[in-house]
Chains A and B, each alone.
Chain A
Amino acid sequence: MQMHMGSRVITARITALLLVIFMVTGMAGCNSQGSSPSNTGNNAEHFRIAVQAMPNTLDANAASSNAGIQIYHNIYDTLVMRDTHANEVKFVPGLAESWQMIDDLTWEIKLRPNVKFHNGSTMTAEDVAYSMNRVIKQEDPAYLIVHSYLLANFDNFEVKDDLTLHAHTIKPEPLFEHLMSDSNVGISCKAYVESVGLDAAAQAPVTTAPYKVTSFDSGQKLELERFDEYWGEKAPFQKVTYTLVPEIISRITALQNKEADFVTNIPPDQEGTLAGNPDIKLVGDVLQMYHIYRINMNNPITNNADLRAALSCAIDRQALADSLWDGKAEAADSPQFSVYGEPLFIADNHDMQYDVEKAKELLAQSGYNGELIHIYNKAHYYTYADLAALAVIDMWKAIGINAEFVELENVSPSEDIEIQTWSNPLYYMDPMGYIERAWAPEGEVATPPINQFVPSEEYIKQFEIARYNTDIDQRVAALKAIYKFFHEETPFIYLYKPYESFGMNANVHYEIPRNVRTYVIGLRAGEISFSAP
């Protein structure tokens, strides 16, 4: 009996201790620094955005993902900037006041004086040279992508004096302004990065932008604050919070509840959920990107150009746009974007057409014997890609092609893959803005490990002209040759430009910024305002 009483007391004490520990931890939880306060009163003070995805890093040179681009536009300045309201791409001075080609391979850049970084220091040519050269020299494996499509033609940025730089290129660079105005070559503070290291600077960057980063947790939220010493027009909001809310139903609820003022990635079939709510509006547009099928030109089944062309002709793109996207997506009709403006945009090119008879003809010509073709898709990545694929497979069945849909966590490059879903976003407003990134003769699709694109000698020659020639007419001629190659060889099938909306409080005045990459959220002066009701 004695023993039992003793052990009972011990047990009781241990239990009590555990309870106390839990209560204390729980209390600590309640007193934690709060999240976004509810917004009453002056709304222009704090703007709350709920996003579907958050980037892992705030180093704009290290990532070109869609998640990052929502943010980098607002926390990095570039040498050249674009007018985000103009109908056609228009370049304006940014951190650089002027720039000119002083010889074939050199651009002279004159910087704006007295530009302050978030930490109070002044921007000089050293910072610009550092920011660019570290990408050119590939100081971190993460920089390779940005290097490959924005700075591949640059050899080095040379400091001439505090406010002057010479950018040395390898070949003449006709797209200088396009490249220098992309947020992924935003300017960072050299002294700061050198003192804290690349990784720490990537979590808490110091730049010249209208907003400075006050806290960042890539699994949860990003907090920005207005930078009062900004060289240009001051930012509209004192404080901005991006919160990660991956579930669509949670984002919509957050908007409804006024827990968020602005939410991203609302696909067309969710618009009904928000309809009829007078406090909310949707701002949507066709995205400057194509959802595509990338076809493996080296695969034993799909290495036949006639078969590939047949696959393309058999797809009724308009039907896909109508049934999947309520007609809001724009069916592809040629491998280009009208935003280039003429003459770079070739208005009479309509070579992606739905023609069942032609498809059957091409199929017969190809000698196709019923081999099974697979469409590989990365799960939950491209909106409605799975539905589109199922519908396309039905269309192909109708002309006698045997196909199957395979969805994977992750699609690794392999020779056995016949077709894979992909997207070609427009990185800058020039035909090379997607052609170079995806279809360069030495680019990622043409080289191992992907190794699916086989350019012809002619294509390589024309690509060189289209990319580097400074005469616009020659470029247009080369582009026509490139499109002819795409039409004859069908290395890819463009489906449509998808449509997406942002949901926001009805008192937010926002237009999707033009002339920038898709998914950019514009929070700079003149791009957005939020008046209190």
Chain B
Amino acid sequence: MIKTWNELPLRIKVCVVLLCVVLFTVLFADFLMPYDPDKTDLLHKTLSPAFMGGNAEHILGTDELGRDVLSRVMYGARISIGIALFGLLIGCGFGLILGLTAGYFGGWWDRVALMLINFQQSIPFILFVLVGLVIFGRSIPVLIVLMGIARWETYAKITRGLVLSLKKKQYVEAAKCYNASPLRILARYIFPGVRTYLIVLITLNFPLILLVETSLSFVGIGVQPPTATLGQMVGTGKNYLVMAPWISIAPAIMIVVVAYCIQHIGEHMRERFDVRLLEK
């Protein structure tokens, strides 16, 4: 699984480097941001970025309330990526546990799990998120949980399928003969077989979740202002596209870059690991 750095294609290397830069910015945003992202300055509204005629104080200009765009993009990236990441982990964790247990133990629990999966699949994702937001409010924790809950059935289904096929392998049967506890079997034999596939799945799904969060914020039903998320910045910025396009363009570029890089890496991993899986 560990590939040496030099063997990776150039495209992937670029993506990884870019992602590291973004990750670094996101983690240390508090120290890197030149201004407070929420501080308004109504006397300096919609200033142009430094390279478009504005002054060097605001490299990416200011938005319609005088807030520094660069700081907001940094901070917004943290929030958007954070929501997507944690949501993904929650969904994956939940789906993993359900899929593992359902696939391994089978019986009535499996049937219940299948019904749950079926049920979850039938409700349009967007509706689920919407209703959840309206009931529980539009705070960040709520959004994270909703992002997670809304997609768990994908992981559950796939995990369950994998477990079903792995269950029949000889080494699992052998372990059962030796009275190994289910937990041990799950942990030592089944989980590793599932793990790599899941990692690929997470990587591939991350951009999708990110895009969903940004889309919701764009329409105005995601995280509420003045907290900045990338989608929301593009959303409010769209009203100023003619006069001050940088307000939308900067966060949009950030979204595209992150989504593109992660996707690429995910595709690359899928190509590598899928081959392996097929060979098993």
Contacts and interface: CB of A to CB of B under 8 A. Distances in A.
Given A386-B225, A387-B40, A407-B225, A249 B239 contact: yes
Contacts of A379: 220, 224-225
Nearest to A379: B224
A247 B240 CA distance: 12
Nearest to B134: A409
Interface string A255-291: 0000000000000011011000000000000000000
Contacts of A380: 220
A390 B65 CA distance: 10
A247 B237 CA distance: 12
B1 interface: no
Nearest to B241: A249
A273 B64 CA distance: 14
Interface in A313-345: 323-324
Size class of B's contact patch?
10 to 19
Interface string B230-248: 0000000011111100000
Q: Is the interface of A mostly helix, strand, loop or mixed?
A: helix
Contact of A324 (B42, B239, B241): B42
A265 to B, nearest CB: 12
Contacts of A249: 238-239, 241-242
B79 to A, nearest CB: 16
B264 interface: no
A474 to B, nearest CB: 45
A144 interface: no
B278 interface: no
A405 B38 CA distance: 12
B224 A407 contact: yes
B226 interface: yes
Interface in B1-57: 40, 42-43, 45
Interface in A464-510: none
A67 B224 CA distance: 25
Contacts of A386: 225-226
A390 B134 contact: no
Contacts of A391: 40, 42
B108 to A, nearest CB: 34
A248 interface: yes
A273 B224 contact: no
Nearest to A256: B242
A387 B43 contact: no
A379 B217 CA distance: 13
Interface in A366-396: 379-380, 386-387, 390-391
B14 to A, nearest CB: 34
A323 B243 contact: no
Contacts of B65: 387, 390
A323 B241 contact: no
A390 B224 contact: no
Q: Is the interface of B mostly helix, strand, loop or mixed?
A: loop
Contact of A269 (B64, B138, B241): B64
Interface residues of A, number: 20
B242 A273 contact: yes
A29 to B, nearest CB: 22
A323 B134 contact: no
Contact of B42 (A387, A407, A409): A387
A379 B133 CA distance: 14
B226 A272 contact: no
Interface string A223-250: 0000000000000000000000001110
Interface string A162-186: 0000000000000000000000000
Contacts of B225: 379, 386, 407
Contacts of B226: 386, 390, 405
A323 B42 contact: yes
Q: B42, B64, B240: which has the most chain A beta carbons within 10 Å?
A: B42
A3 to B, nearest CB: 24
A249 B240 CA distance: 8
Contacts of A407: 224-225
Interface in B109-158: 134, 137-138
Contacts of B134: 409
B42 to A, nearest CB: 4
A79 B224 CA distance: 46
Contacts of B64: 269
A273 B243 contact: yes
A482 B151 CA distance: 59
A269 B43 CA distance: 13
A247 B40 CA distance: 24
B130 to A, nearest CB: 11
A323 B43 contact: yes
A323 B226 CA distance: 19
Nearest to B42: A323
Interface in A383-420: 386-387, 390-391, 405, 407-409
Contacts of A324: 42
Nearest to A391: B42
A358 to B, nearest CB: 25
B131 to A, nearest CB: 13
A408 B134 CA distance: 10
A323 B243 CA distance: 18
A270 B239 contact: yes
A407 B45 CA distance: 22
Contacts of B43: 323
B87 to A, nearest CB: 21
Interface in B236-267: 238-243
Contacts of A409: 134, 137-138
Nearest to B46: A269
A248 B31 CA distance: 36
Nearest to A253: B242
B252 to A, nearest CB: 15
B11 to A, nearest CB: 35
Chain A to chain B: the 6 pairs with minimum beta-carbon distance, closest first? A323-B42, A273-B242, A248-B239, A272-B243, A407-B224, A390-B40
17 contacts: A248-B239, A249-B242, A252-B242, A269-B45, A272-B243, A273-B243, A323-B42, A323-B43, A379-B225, A386-B225, A387-B40, A387-B65, A390-B40, A391-B42, A407-B224, A408-B224, A409-B137
Given A249-B239, A379-B220, A386-B226, 15 more contacts: A247-B239, A249-B238, A269-B64, A269-B240, A273-B242, A273-B243, A323-B42, A379-B225, A380-B220, A387-B42, A390-B226, A405-B226, A408-B224, A409-B134, A409-B137
